[in-house]
Structure 1
Amino acid sequence: MLSKRIIPCLDVRDGKTTKGIRFEGNVDIGDPVAMARRYYEEGADEIVFYDITASHERRAIMLDVVRQVAETIFIPFSVGGGIRTLEDMRAVLLAGAEKVSVNSAAVRDPEIIARGAESFGRQCIVLGMDVKQVGARAGIPSGYEVVIDGGRVCTGTDALQWALTAEELGAGEICLNSIDADGTRQGYELTLTALISRHVTIPVIAS
Structure 2
Amino acid sequence: MPLLFTGFNAFGQHECVSGDVDCAAGFSEINAPVSNQNQCTISIGWRYAALAFGRKLCLRGLLDDGPNECVTLEATGDIRAIAAADSHCLVLLQSGQLYRVQPKLQAELVTVRLEAAPRSNSGTKRSIFGAAKAPSSPIIEHIACGSHINVAISSENCVYSIPSCLHQFSERQFRVKQLQCGHEHAVLLNANGDVFTWGNGL
Answer yes or no: same fold by TM over 0.5. Answer: no
Between Structure 1 and Structure 2, which shows a larger proportion of helix residues?
1
- TM-score tier, shorter chain, comes to under 0.3
The higher-RCO structure (CA 8 Å, 6+ apart) is 1
Under a length normalisation based on structure 2, what TM-score does the superposition of the two structures give?
A: 0.27
Larger Rg: 2
